[in-house]
Amino acid sequence: MTNLDNRLYIVATPIGNLQDFSYRAVEVLRSVDWIAAEDTRRARLLLQHYGIQNKLVSVHDHNEAFKAPELIKKLVSGMSGALISDAGTPLISDPGLPLVRLAKEAGVKVSPIPGACALVAALSVSGVAVSGFSFEGFLGRTSASRRAFFTEKLADTRTWVFYESSHRILACLKDLAATLPDNRKIAVAREMTKIYETVLYAPVSEVLREVEDNENMRKGEFVVIVEGCALKKVSEVSAEQLRVLTILLKTQTVKGAVALAVEITEGSKKLLYREALRIVKEQRE
């Protein structure tokens, strides 16, 4: 076994395929004094697969506040430790932030052992532009909160990404389709690295149809990626004006939507009319 200094290692674990684990991750998990894991039973399966025998400590959302200081004391006294989560990279929609913060405050070095992360894996195969993106974690559980969030994001020109569960994927896509223009492309990455891995990339209305028609497309784990808004004339029509116009065009004629948008945003009728025609044209293409 390698002798490690008193460091806290943040170790990424596979998101489905047990082979997706680095040599260094195995070596570190063998060598540290303890491994803090979200679910020790699940962690044991991974450790058994790699023949790792080490002490597991349970650290999850409900006990992290009092467990973290205990673990920091051990690190300060010279021990080394690792944090893993159920799947993927710890702290990414997973526990670990208090532990990392306390370690830093105590002057303990925190080192990453990088590996699988569902959002990065999904982005890499989605077909969506990834030069800039925002990660939104899990969204609200109600339709109203999701629609409010999607409306806020309508005019965002960057790609946005979120996690969704099998219980809510259909309802979530319905809310997305009701809020976004029909032609806006999205990607749904399901069960990545597992047997039934599927990645859909199409306009939101098409993806919704596929998920509605195919029961299997509602099973498993999901990452949803939404292409940013193609804002061509930023200087002429503001993001807010575009957002208002897009919503109005869902229920109004072009003339009606433009009239209301002018009233709401106090924008130029000519520019909003031109923008409305562009949106309608793009939707037909």
Which residues sit at the interface with ligand SAM, rule CB under 6 A?
15-16, 85, 87-89, 92-94, 117-119, 163-165, 189-194, 221-223
Residue 225 β-bridge partners: 161, 187
The distance of closest approach from Cβ of residue 122 to ligand SAM in the complex, given in angstroms and rounded to an integer, is 6
Least distance (Å) between residue 92 CB and ligand SAM? 4
Hey, what's the torsion of the CAs at 174, 180, 181, 187, to 10 degrees? -80
Smallest gap from residue 42 Cβ to ligand SAM (A): 12
What residue number has its CB nearest to ligand SAM? 88
Nearest to 203 by CA among 230, 232, 235, 164: 230
The residue among 6 and 89 lying less far from ligand SAM, judged by its C-beta, is 89
- Rounded CA-CA distance 250/111 in Å is 49
Of 28 and 161, which CB lies nearer to ligand SAM in the complex structure?
161
Burial of 233 (0-12, 13-18, 19+ CB in 10 A): exposed
Residue 183, SS3 per DSSP: coil
CB of 125 to ligand SAM, least distance (A): 11
